[in-house]
Amino acid sequence: MLILGLETSCDETGVALYDMARGLLADALFSQVDIHVEYGGVVPELASRDHVRKVLPLLEQVLAEAGCTPQEIDGVAYTAGPGLVGALMVGATLARALAWGWGVPVLGVHHMEGHLLAPMLEDEHPQFPFVALLVSGGHTQLVRVDGIGQYRMLGESLDDAAGEAFDKAAKMLGLPYPGGPHIARMAQRGDPARFDFPRPMVNRPGLDFSFSGLKTYTLNTVAECRQASELTEQDRCDIARAFEDAVVATLVIKCRRALRQEALKTLVIAGGVSANLRLRSALERALDKEGARVFYPAAKYCTDNGAMIAYAGAQRLQAGQVDDEQTRVRPRWPMEELPPLDAAGAA
């Protein structure tokens, strides 16, 4: 069963072809980062317009790469939410038009389920049940996963998402959007002993997160350095390091707590922030001591991509799930509302 996946929820146009028997055949991505960089964040209208421009050429590219014709495609999956409504509508409209034209089923996929399942694209992938830490620009969530569509929220951010916190801290340091990779790069040259940033909410029980206090602390530290003199390159590196260390430590503590609470030994991390190398190695070290294991997607499938949507859509389409006439894109969409995979009868 060959499935086309379209991702257009934010500022990346992703198109991929996934085959249930042969795996991922092709995927293509266009990142709009250069379009939005001068505004310091994603401009929704510009994002939608650029998806319109890029999605068909990317489709042609993946068909050529995979050596497939449209007649071989058995279904179309697209990101139906959460995300920017105009951007989502580009993918949804094209997916429905293609599926109608080709006479195949179409299904709207949940963007965060796509992220959550992205580690399944790897040869060595996790087995259910596991705890997933979803850390992206819009979400920070700890989820118990018993199977596809069997999700129980264990904790989430009460304010900013981890990626959003990275982006805001980067802005304070004069770094471009999206800030996560820039902070990580600067932090490599930072002195970990110079500042000690607070680890938010780790002394409180529970699995929720809060990053707004850390954001304020970062802002105040920047201001203090500025008061002393100009903000030097070393100041920026040291602040980036202290910020990254605080976020990583907080995430690690909550992941260990979630695994212990659920009596599980498998953790999955996914979403843009899971590309962070310091987070990956800190989690590996911490879990190793407890005989637990962490799985994550390949670096290029951590941030938004079409492959994860094609994969998630293929699992659900194969189980018989399809859009009906009432299906709408959903800018907000709690993941717990998703039906379990076998709800529509396994294929």
The pair of three-digit structure tokens given for residue 110, joined into one six-digit string = 């949940």
Residue 119 contact among ligand KG4, Zn ion, none, beta carbon within 5 to 8 Å by kind? none
Residues 9, 83: Cα–Cα separation, whole Å: 5
169 or 309: CB nearest Zn ion: 309
Closer residue to ligand KG4 in complex, CB, 129/278: 278
Q: Report the residue number, 116 or 184, with the smaller CB distance to ligand KG4.
A: 184
Residue 108: which H helix or E strand, with range? strand 106-110
What angle do helix axes 233-262 and 277-288 make, rounded to 10 degrees? Answer: 40
Tell me how far, at minimum, the Cβ of 183 lies from ligand KG4, in Å: 6
- Residue 179 binds ligand KG4 (CB under 6 A): yes
How many residues can be counted in the chain? 347
**Interaction between residue 76 and ligand KG4 (CB under 6 A):** no
Question: Of 89-97, 177-185, 202-210, 248-256, which segment contacts ligand KG4 by CB under 6 A?
Answer: 177-185
Residue 116's nearest CA partner among 85, 146, 84, 80 is 146
| Shortest distance in whole angstroms from residue 115 CB to Zn ion | 6
Among 142, 275, 287, 312, binds ligand KG4 (CB under 6 A): 275
Nearer to ligand KG4, 182 or 257 (CB): 182
Residues 27, 12: Cα–Cα separation, whole Å: 13
Least distance from ligand KG4 to the Cβ atom of residue 72, Å: 29
Q: Which does 118 bind (CB under 5 to 8 A by kind): ligand KG4, Zn ion, none?
A: none
The tokens describing 149, both together, are 């569509």
CB atoms within 10 A of CB 316: 25
Size of the site for ligand KG4 (CB under 6 A): 20
Residue 132 and residue 117: Cα distance in Å, rounded? 10
Among 52, 36, 35, 41, smallest CA distance to 86 is for 52
Residue 46 near residue 36, CB atoms below 8 Å: yes
Question: Which residue of 7, 244, 304, 323 would you call a contact of Zn ion, by CB under 5 A?
Answer: 304
75 binds ligand KG4 (CB under 6 A): no
Of residues 319, 9, 3, the one with CA closest to residue 149 = 319
- Sign of torsion, CA 264 267 268 274? positive
Q: Minimal distance in Å, beta carbon 304 to ligand KG4? A: 4
Site for ligand KG4 in 182-211 (CB under 6 A): 184
CB closer to ligand KG4 out of 113 and 167: 167
Residue 136 interacts with Zn ion (CB under 5 A)? yes
Q: Which residues bind Zn ion (CB under 5 A)?
A: 136, 304
